Amino acid sequence: MTAGRASRAAHALVAACATAGVVLHYLVVLGHDGEVAVRSIRFLSYFTILTNMLVAVTAFGIAMGQGRLAALAGRPSWRTGVTLDILVVALVYHLLLRDVTLPGAIGWTANALVHQLVPAAWTACWFAFPPHGAIDRAAPWRWLLYPLGFALWTLLHGAVGGWYPYPFMDAGRLGYPTALANMLGIGALFLGLGYGLRWVDGRLESRTG
C-alpha cells in the first residue's frame, strides 16, 4: 500500500470514529427530558462535539483525496490547527472533566470515542502522514479564533438561557471574573500548545522533506 493510500484509509477510519462518537452522544442526549430543539442546541454547544465534527469533516476530506475539501483539509496549517483543537479537548477532559460521564454502554462508548480514541487517532495521523511545514508564525493566533468564537457564544447563550456547557465556564455560578479567568487560562493553553505544535510540524517537515 502506498503512503497516499494508507493516509486515505487511516483518515477514513478516523472520520468514521468521530462520526460514530458524535451520533452516539446525540442518541444519549435524545434520551434526556426536555424539548428536542433545546437539547439539540445544547448538544451543538459543546466544544467537544463541534471539534469532533470538525475532525470528521477534515478526515473525510483527506480520505477523499481530491476536490476543494481535500485541498483545504490537506493544508499543513489546517491539519495542525485541527490537531490543536482535538488535543485541547482531550487535555481539558482528562484534567478537569474526568468525573463527567454519560449513562449506559452507549454513553460510555461515545465518551471514549470523542475524548480518547478520536484525539489519539487524529494526532497519530497528523504525526505520521505529510504534508508538514509552511506554517507561519501568526498561525497559532489565527487558531485562537475558533475557541474565541466558542467562548463568546457560550457567554451569550449562558446569559440568555442560564445554561453553560462546562462548569469552569459557568459565569452564573462562578461569576464573570472567575469564568473569564478560566477561559483566559485555556486560551493560554491553546496558544502555547499551538506554538509547540508548529515547532513539531517544522521538525516533521525536515524528517519527511
Residue 1 has pLDDT above 70, yes or no: no
Whole-number Å distance between alpha carbons of 114 and 48: 7
- Contact criterion met (CB below 8 Å) for 185 and 91: no
User: pTM for the whole thing?
Assistant: 0.94
Sign of CA dihedral 55, 21, 185, 40: positive
Domain around 110: 3-208
Q: What is the pLDDT of residues 69-110, one digit of tens each?
A: 989 888 999 999 999 999 999 999 999 998 877 888 999 999
Residue 97's SS3 state is coil
Where are the alpha helices (H) located in 97-138, listed in sequence order? 104-112, 118-128
How many folded domains does the chain comprise? 1
Number of neighbours of residue 111 by Cβ within 10 angstroms: 20
> Do the beta carbons of residue 93 and residue 120 sit within 8 Å?
no
- Return the C-alpha cell found at 134: 509552511
CB atoms within 10 A of CB 88: 20
The pLDDT tens digits of the residues spanning 170-193 come to 999 999 999 999 999 999 999 999
Closest CA to 14 of 82, 78, 60, 83: 60
Among 23, 204, 203, 187, which Cα is nearest to 92's? 187
Give the number of other Cβ atoms within 10 Å of residue 66's Cβ. 9
What are the tens digits of pLDDT across the range 108-160?
Answer: 999 999 999 999 999 999 999 989 988 999 999 999 999 999 999 999 999 99
Residue 114 in contact with residue 25, Cβ under 8 Å?
yes
